[in-house]
Amino acid sequence: MKLEKVKIKNFRGYKDDTEIPISNLTSFIGKNDAGKSTILEALEIFFNNSLVNCEKEDLNINAADKNIEISCTFSDFPDEIIIDAANPTSLEAEKLLNSGGKLEIKKVFTATAAKPKEKVFIVCNHPSAENAGDLLALKRTELKKRAESLEIGKDNYNASINSSIRKAIWESFQDLEIQETELLVDKEDTKKVYDTLKNYLPIYALFQSDRQSKDDDKEVTDPMKIAVRQALSELDDEIEHIKEQVRNKAINTAKRTLKKLKEMSPDLADELNPEFKTEPKFDSQFKLTIKSEDDIPINKRGSGVRRLILLNFFRAEAERLREQNDGSQIIFAFEEPETSQHPDHQEMLIQAFMDLSNTGNSQIILTTHTPVLAGLLPLDSLRFIEKDGNNRKIELGTDEVFEKIAVTLGVLPNPVDKNASAMLLLEGKSDVSFVKHTALELKTAGHIDHTFDH
């Protein structure tokens, strides 16, 4: 699946419902504390809630309620999904697409506990007519009773398949009263749908610019975790075969137990059904790392070396994905990729990002403060973020926005005085403020006679 947009509400500096379009390559530019990293971390919470956790303190201080909302809209979702064993249906048939024909998933975190738990909703154009709007939340016995109460003949559906019963019920209505609905996916087939969709969601990998230096530094371990997950995905058929074998053998044992139980308590045996509650997590069973010479941890070699490893991870991924299109999707989110890198390496990294974004398997999201890097990026990838009162505003695609980006990055210099005898080149406005303040303090202390202004 491909991420098309993210919406954030009540999360840190984003009070109002803020919609942010995402393309194959997306570059966020803005002043410090404008809210660039917040978007990357909101996506980390949506996809993983691991490297960055949703916390009570993430609630916007001006929020009208206690709910933090992070929504993602996807295209290229699977044509078929399995929620009844070996009986495919589709998101369209289950009326789970939004008004634009896309899959929209919203996660809501109620910020009353220190670590808020997520509630998951599918935002969709769904039936709201009485007896038609709750079908995905009904058990099979309840669906059959609903069909009987609506006097739908049994020859109109397969009573062993939930989706078939739902289809027959929906087709019996003259007006389903379709309207935008936030469908909570917490039970029955709503939960099964989401559990299936999770297998198709993109892998999201966030690389932050500043972090503690630890032996398990995610700056190095995350790419290796991605390598393990990719390897497992390529062996998906074999793994599914193993899981099916284990499942069948275990269920057969459970059935033999229930058969014996029926001899002693038929009523109790009829009430029980064997069911697997959780899937094995193979990715947590495999560990991969890259060791430095003399067993020196990579994170002790300096951030420049660690980032150099990342640089070549992305270059290798670009090369691999150009040759292999296996349908898997990865979103690489990189905060300030220029950090601790030689200018030549910065340019190579941007080129790797651009190559990756063109493979069809990957999307790249990054933030930057560096004019040279921004100048290498396509104009349609640029998103300008700025504070708008107590909120944040996202702009893109116009000459006015490009001018704002240029000014923010310091690309458009002030005219040079004709009497100047020297020029000091700085990276941005913050550096200019620092140098001017330093000169003023030195003059005040009597160490110099003039500042840059006087």
- Neighbouring C-beta atoms of residue 303, cutoff 10 Å: 17
Within a domain: 416: no
From the list 362, 401, 443, 316, the residue with the least C-alpha distance to 30 is 401
Within a domain: 189: yes
pLDDT in tens, 188-201: 888 888 988 888 89
Q: d(Cα 353, Cα 325) in Å, to the nearest integer?
A: 17
The number of folded domains in the chain is: 1
- CA atoms within a 13 Å half-sphere pointing along the CA-CB vector of 88: 6
pTM value is 0.74
Where helices occur in 150-235 by DSSP H, the ranges are: 162-171, 188-198, 218-234
Within a domain: 238: no
List Cα–Cα distances, 288 to 22, 124, 146, 175, 314, in angstroms.
31, 40, 52, 56, 17
Q: What is the pLDDT of residue 245?
A: 82
Quick one: what percent of the chain has pLDDT higher than 90? 38
- CA atoms within a 13 Å half-sphere pointing along the CA-CB vector of 377: 32
pLDDT in tens, 438-449: 999 998 998 988
Within a domain: 141: yes
CATH number at residue 368: 3.40.50.300
Q: d(Cα 223, Cα 229) in Å, to the nearest integer?
A: 10
Q: Exposed (0-12), middle (13-18) or buried (19+): which is 321, by Cβ within 10 Å?
A: buried
Full residue range of the structural domain in which residue 8 is found = 2-233+290-405
Q: Exposed (0-12), middle (13-18) or buried (19+): which is 318, by Cβ within 10 Å?
A: buried
Within a domain: 239: no
pLDDT in tens, 39-62: 999 999 999 988 889 999 999 999
Within a domain: 311: yes
* Average pLDDT of the segment spanning 356-361: 83
What is the band of 82 on the pLDDT scale with cuts at 50, 70, 90?
A: confident
Within a domain: 279: no
